[in-house]
Structure formats: structure tokens, C-alpha cells
Amino acid sequence: MQQVILITGASTGIGALSARALAAAGHIVYASMRDTQGRNAPRVRALRDDAARHGGDLRALELDVLSQASADAAIAAILAEQGRLDVVVHNAGGLVTGPMEAFAPDEIQHVFDTNVIGAQRVNKAALPAMRARGSGLLLWVGSSTTRGGFPPFMGPYAAAKAAMDSIAVTMAYELTRFGIETSIVTPGAFTRGTAHFPNAGKPADRSTSAAYARYEGLMDQVAERLSALTPPDADPQAVAGEIVRVVGLPAGQRPFRTVIDFIGDGAQAVSEVAEQARIDFARRIGIADLLSIHPAA
């Protein structure tokens, strides 16, 4: 069934790959990003060219997750054009790397604003219409750092992804009685196919970063080891493919969490245990009905 889908952070990486894959699968896809008339104008043209070549319904949309007004305007535009919004893919985010001590509080706040609060702004704009219809899907693009092993010097990013994951779990319970499903697609580390690490931000406090010189070269060693552990067929397109699969499943049959991990960081094993614990606890406290969607009253 054709669905109307919004993807945040769709200018590059998994967001752009997913936008194209969902459009190719026959959905109406709004690929949102900041500055569509300026810095990202070439990416907007690339999306339009791709849609023209392959015949998919792929539309670029201005949306800055740091602005509630921008989120409100973007959702309003979708509803005006389509009359509904079926799926929100929370993909917007940004990676920073460096010693935790070196990050100023406002730098950490910015990471959380992008990776966590940004999703809340979009939800505030999108959920009233989804609740009114009594159906929908929130699909969160998480990170295996929340369940598996990960190296040092990724503190703000890992903490923000853990916070986002916790909010997704909380909202899953709170939305089932409105017929709105939750699914968390959890990518592992990819050493090829995205600019996630090359584009990572750094702390402005260079003197404190320099004090960690005894760790110099460690992240390069980690990157080399990750590359060695990564099989040749590992591609972030697999994450886009999983998003297409989850979206295409019938309502009520979508998995709560899936992990796309090619290096075996442990996220899959931990997720299975954590999910069973979540289900068991929900049953013990009498909220098992909130584990699956219900038609809106």
C-alpha cells in the first residue's frame, strides 16, 4: 500500500538512501533537510533527478529539526498536499568525536538538540494528525551504541542516541491506543558508504583535546580494525532496505526493533535480552495491551 512518508535528515547518508529506496518501492516520500535553497540545493537537484530517472514520487522538503516553526511548516505542507501523513522516519542526527572532557556544555546541548529534541519537535507537529486518523508509524533510526560495544571519544553522540532510544520506547507505549506503531531500526558501524565519521564534529576546546595526546592515533587504529572486521558486502544500503521492509509490512506486524550490524558488536544479542525483559515487565505490571497497536476509539 502506498504511504506518505517524511524522512528527516535526508540530505546524505542513510536518510538519502532510504528516501530513494522508499520512493522506488512506490511510496510518496518527503526527503527533508535544511537550507534546500542554499547549501543543500545540489542535493535537492540530485533527488529530483533521481526521481525523474526512476519514476518515484520523491519530494525535497525544507525542515530544520532545530526549529519548531520549521517542523510545523513542513508537516502542514505535507498535510495540505496529501491530506495525511502515514510514516515519520526519525533519521536526523549528527556525530561528534573527541574527549568527553573537551566538550563545552553548550556543544553537548547542541548534539542533544539535533539527535533528541529535534525528533520531539517533529513529533509535536506530526502526531496530532496521526492520532486523529488512528494510524501511523514512527520509525526511529537508532544506533548500536545503545546496545552494543563502541569505542571511546563518542560520548555526546552515544548519550544522545541512548536518550532518543529511551524516548522511542516510552512513546511506543503511549501511542499504541491511537493505532500508531513504533519501530527502531538500529544500524551498526559502517566504514564505507556514508560520510558519518569524516563529517563528525570536534570540540572547540583544542587545548583540552591536546591533553589527551597519549591517546593519539587510537581512533585511527579503531577505524582500521573496524574496516578489517567489515565484510566486503557491508553497505548502508542494507539499512535503507530494512526501512523499506518494515514500512511495507502490515500494521501490527512490524518488528519493534531490528539490528543491521555487519561486524558483530553485540547489539543483536543485547537487544534480544532487553526486548524480552521489556515484554516480561510490561506483563507483570499489567500493561501488556500496550505492546501492540489498537484501533483509535
> Vertex 199, ends 60 and 95: CA angle to 5°?
90
Q: 58 in helix, strand or coil?
A: strand
Cell for 98? 573527541
215 is catalytic: no
Q: For the purposes of burial, counting CB atoms within 10 Å of the CB of 42, is it exposed (0-12), middle (13-18) or buried (19 or more)?
A: exposed
Q: Which amino acid is at 232?
A: P
CA distances to 70, 96, 99, 112, 207 from 115, rounded to whole Å, are: 16, 11, 19, 5, 27
Alpha helix stretches (DSSP H) within 89-196: 105-112, 118-133, 155-175
Alpha carbon dihedral 142, 92, 123, 70, in 10-degree steps, equals 170
Q: Which of 30, 157, 212, 215 is catalytic?
A: 157
- Between CA 56 and CA 205 the distance in angstroms is 45
Q: Which amino acid is at 114?
A: T
Please list the active-site residues: 157
